[in-house]
Amino acid sequence: MSRFDEAKELYAKAGVDVDAALKKLAKVRLSIHCWQGDDVTGFENRSALSGGIAATGNYPGRARNPEELMNDLDAALKIVPGKHKINLHAIYAITDGQVERDALEPRHFTKWVDYAKARGLGLDFNPTLFSHQKADGGTLSHPDAGIRKFWVDHCKASRKIAEYFGRELNTVSLNNIWIPDGCKDIPADRLSPRRRLKDSLDDIYSVTLDGRYIADSVESKVFGIGLESYTVGSHEFYMNYAGKNNILCLLDNGHFHPTEKVSDKISSMLLFFDKLALHVTRPVRWDSDHVVILDDELREIAKELVACDALERVFIGLDYFDASINRIAAWVVGAHNMQKALLAALLMPLEKLSALQKEGRFTELLALQEAYKTYPIGTVWDAFCESNSVPAREGWFDVVHNYEKNVLLKRKLN
């Protein structure tokens, strides 16, 4: 009997159908963030990354143009099992000469649509409300009406682009708004900026688009670098805004207090919203956006999605940017870990465990949950990779290493 068959038998005894689990896993489309490929730089030739976020490190081989970024994405996608989506930011528009962000149109993204079509991928989208001189003192909550309008127009433009992606690629494209607006020190007035943000959002969402092709979300945050004391778009702000306006409230697991867990929020969100949008990252001491590893919280997030039977109701976006390691490996490690966490959850006999909880048999519940952690998940993962023509275990690393040698190290940054 093969190792895989043995593993299947073991899982069957625990009440888990491995083939059914793999089928469900194969359907999950992750939204893979393009911005890991170039440290959130984009193609605008503009100022450095701003907005209270930071990509640290100077690993060689950053993608410098659309062609390089697409090639690098291809290199990563080849070793991530399954069909996925690419998450774009407005600064990745492919234009002849500079186009201001409020003037962006679907036609500035046709090359990405061609790229996605040729590979059977979906596309998600984000307006970029940072790394721009008009974003220095705030964006959608800025005191100056002219600056607010510029960003409102940018967000309106970006929603049209997302709808275009959805229509062209026959998917629902998520358009997620995140703004950096906030204060370094104690504000005198917390209310007015939030009122202005609310008005800006009302304006942005006053345009009705086709829900078959676009979903809208707003992303909250607790603080940014240089914006430590006040964040206009806080969690309470967006939860209320999203709930009242029938859009999605995106949860980024780097955007909460260190002991506050997104995994615990998922069931509550799903009770009140049709869909849920996530940014999966790894905060180390702060919103540092380290590469996602298979840690307890990632596993718990995945377990909640599976336990709530929400795999078809969730947009799972990866969101980290590590410039200190090979960027293709960073994509692969994070995507694999998200998939492994989902697989681990799909391989748990959750109904049996829920029954134990209901019956108050908590000793058994603890013992079993711990026992399943060392079941042969790796063997099932290897089989999943092989059936998707992806090298099993760490075999993919050689592929990345060769790509680094042959492609990345030949790029000279000037």
Q: Least distance (Å) from Zn ion to the CB of residue 278?
A: 9
Question: What are the b/e assignments for 277-313, b being 16+ CB within 10 Å?
Answer: bbbbbbbeeebbbbbbebeebbbbbbbbbbbbebbee
For residues 189 and 139, is the Cβ–Cβ distance under 8 A?
Answer: no
**322 is a contact residue toward ligand RNT (CB under 6 A):** no
Residues that bind Zn ion (CB under 5 A): 252, 279, 319
How far apart (Å, rounded) are the C-alpha atoms in residues 269 and 234? 16
**230 is a contact residue toward ligand RNT (CB under 6 A):** no
Q: Least distance (Å) from ligand RNT to the CB of residue 267?
A: 22
Q: Is 325 left (phi over 0), alpha (psi -120 to 50) or beta?
A: beta
Q: Are strands 182-183 and 230-231 parallel, antiparallel or unpaired?
A: antiparallel
How far apart (Å, rounded) are the C-alpha atoms in residues 223 and 184? 9
Q: Which residue is nearest to ligand RNT (CB)?
A: 178
How far apart (Å, rounded) are the C-alpha atoms in residues 130 and 179? 7
Q: Least distance (Å) from ligand RNT to the CB of residue 266?
A: 18
| Residue 153 binding result from Zn ion, ligand RNT, none, given CB thresholds of 5 to 8 Å by partner type | none
| Residue 124 binding result from ligand RNT, Zn ion, none, given CB thresholds of 5 to 8 Å by partner type | none
Kindly list the catalytic residues.
178, 219, 221, 252, 255, 279, 287, 289, 319
Q: Least distance (Å) from Zn ion to the CB of residue 319?
A: 4
Q: Least distance (Å) from ligand RNT to the CB of residue 252?
A: 5
Residues from 169 through 228 that contact ligand RNT (CB under 6 A): 178, 219, 221
Residues from 114 through 133 that contact ligand RNT (CB under 6 A): 126
**35 is a contact residue toward ligand RNT (CB under 6 A):** yes
Pick 253 or 337: Cβ nearer ligand RNT: 253
For residues 90 and 102, is the Cβ–Cβ distance under 8 A?
Answer: no
| Residue 35 binding result from ligand RNT, Zn ion, none, given CB thresholds of 5 to 8 Å by partner type | ligand RNT
How far apart (Å, rounded) are the C-alpha atoms in residues 40 and 322? 10
Pick 72 or 382: Cβ nearer ligand RNT: 72
**287 is a contact residue toward ligand RNT (CB under 6 A):** yes
**319 is a contact residue toward ligand RNT (CB under 6 A):** yes
| DSSP state, residue 61 | -
Pick 31 or 200: Cβ nearer ligand RNT: 31
Q: Give how many residues touch ligand RNT by CB under 6 A.
A: 11
Q: Least distance (Å) from Zn ion to the CB of residue 289?
A: 8
How far apart (Å, rounded) are the C-alpha atoms in residues 228 and 30? 31
Residue with tokens 């062609």: 67
| Residue 126 binding result from ligand RNT, Zn ion, none, given CB thresholds of 5 to 8 Å by partner type | ligand RNT
How far apart (Å, rounded) are the C-alpha atoms in residues 292 and 38? 17
**168 is a contact residue toward ligand RNT (CB under 6 A):** no
Q: Which of 53, 77, 169, 247 binds ligand RNT (CB under 6 A)?
A: 53
Selection from 182, 177, 172 nearest residue 200 by Cα: 177
Hey, which residues does 33 pair with through a beta bridge?
Answer: 87
Nearest 10 degrees: Cα torsion 260, 262, 268, 271: 170
Q: Which H or E run includes 216?
A: strand 214-219
| Residue 40 binding result from Zn ion, ligand RNT, none, given CB thresholds of 5 to 8 Å by partner type | ligand RNT
**39 is a contact residue toward ligand RNT (CB under 6 A):** no
Q: Least distance (Å) from ligand RNT to the CB of residue 77?
A: 20
Pick 61 or 127: Cβ nearer ligand RNT: 127
Q: Is 246 left (phi over 0), alpha (psi -120 to 50) or beta?
A: left
Interface residues with ligand RNT (CB under 6 A) are 35, 40, 53, 126, 178, 219, 221, 252, 279, 287, 319
